[in-house]
Amino acid sequence: MGKPRSRAAPCMNWSRMAAFVLGVSVLAGIVAYAGIGSVMQALRVLRFSGLALITLLHLPVVLAMGIAWWLLGRNFPGSTTTKFAWARFVRDAAAEALPFSQIGGFVLGVRALHLDGVGALRGALSMSVDLVMELWAKIPYFIAGLVALFVAVPHSHPSRALVAALVLTIGVVAIPYVFGKRLRSALETSTMAIARRWPSLGSREDARLFFDGLFAERWVLPTSFAVHFACWVFGAFEMWVVLALMGHRVRPVEALAIDSLVSGLRTFAFLVPAAAGVQEACYVLVCAVFGIAPATAVAVSLARRARDLALGIPILAIWQYREATAGK
């Protein structure tokens, strides 16, 4: 199967454009509510050195997530950890640094893998299972965040609202796993539909062989799950570092609760490009439980966005160069 010469780039439809514009408007409103001057002061405390530190801290997380993806596709012809790690960097960069929903990031991630010689269908297959593992690993992280919330602020009224919201979040995320015995059947059905619709991506036999190999090795899925869970937990440490750099020394249990709850609430924003506005609202809501001012909460969210841009822009530039020179 030869490499296609046409460029694959996800386009924003009007609904996603509207969601993005609405999200940016919400973001602007939250910044205004928190106070632009106060937000900027919090960011100045972070400084460039702080931004560089949190960016470097995030590199091993993305690398580990790439390895978790590679575990699922390690038997593909030409598969290497480097290729999958690079594809994961592209996938996250597109989702966080471009005005696309996370679905756009998925498309570019598979495309990046395809440019390195891994078949498009194989890339899509492995990524679909990787997404399941990543979401599944979020469930115990949610639970850990809830426990941390009750330990840190057991009598907080806002915490009750957060618990209700997170119970709903867990329910949404857990739906694919309630019917765990049907997981393979559901994945195979969707894959076969893709193979029939776009036969140039790969054959139905490729899909069957992938699932046969994946489910025959019982250690692969638990290992992928464990890697993703470790990445979620490391996010709590990243949160602790960001707040410490801004002059807010929180306990580890509080950092765990903040990062876990924000990650859970942000799940609902997967169709909003870059979770614009939603992410900031989540930080303001959760940080309020721990007495952290809205300006600091918004600054933490913007620091995360700055980190994602610092990683994403050069990665996307390299990807675009490779895309433009592919086949020449």
Task: Note the pLDDT of residue 295.
Answer: 83
Task: Note the pLDDT of residue 69.
Answer: 94
Task: Note the pLDDT of residue 168.
Answer: 61
Residue 29, number of CB atoms within 10 A of its CB = 13
Task: Note the pLDDT of residue 5.
Answer: 43
Task: Note the pLDDT of residue 270.
Answer: 60
Q: How far is CA 312 from the centre of its chain?
A: 13
Residue 299, number of CB atoms within 10 A of its CB = 28
Task: Note the pLDDT of residue 3.
Answer: 44
Task: Note the pLDDT of residue 268.
Answer: 65
**102 contacts: CB under 8 Å, gap ≥ 6:** 95, 270, 271
Cα distances (Å, whole numbers) of residue 44 to 37, 40, 41, 138, 327: 10, 6, 5, 32, 45
CA-CA-CA-CA torsion for 308, 312, 314, 319, nearest 10 degrees? 170
What sign does the CA torsion over 237, 243, 248, 250 have?
A: negative
Q: Which residue intervals of the chain are DSSP H helices?
A: 14-34, 36-73, 81-97, 102-115, 120-152, 157-178, 183-197, 204-216, 220-245, 252-266, 278-289, 294-325
Task: Note the pLDDT of residue 165.
Answer: 59
Task: Note the pLDDT of residue 173.
Answer: 57
Residue 199, number of CB atoms within 10 A of its CB = 11
SS3 117: coil
Q: What is the pLDDT along the chain (328 residues), one digit of tens a residue?
A: 444 444 444 444 555 555 455 555 545 555 544 446 555 665 677 778 888 999 999 999 999 999 999 999 888 888 899 999 999 999 998 887 776 656 777 888 888 888 888 877 778 888 888 888 888 888 888 888 888 888 777 665 555 556 665 666 566 555 555 554 555 565 556 555 555 554 445 555 666 677 777 777 878 888 999 999 999 999 999 999 999 998 888 888 999 999 998 887 777 666 556 566 677 878 888 888 888 888 888 888 888 888 888 888 899 899 888 888 876 6
The domain spans of the chain are: 14-325
d(CA 306, CA 44): 13
Q: How far is CA 85 from the centre of its chain?
A: 14
d(CA 141, CA 147): 10
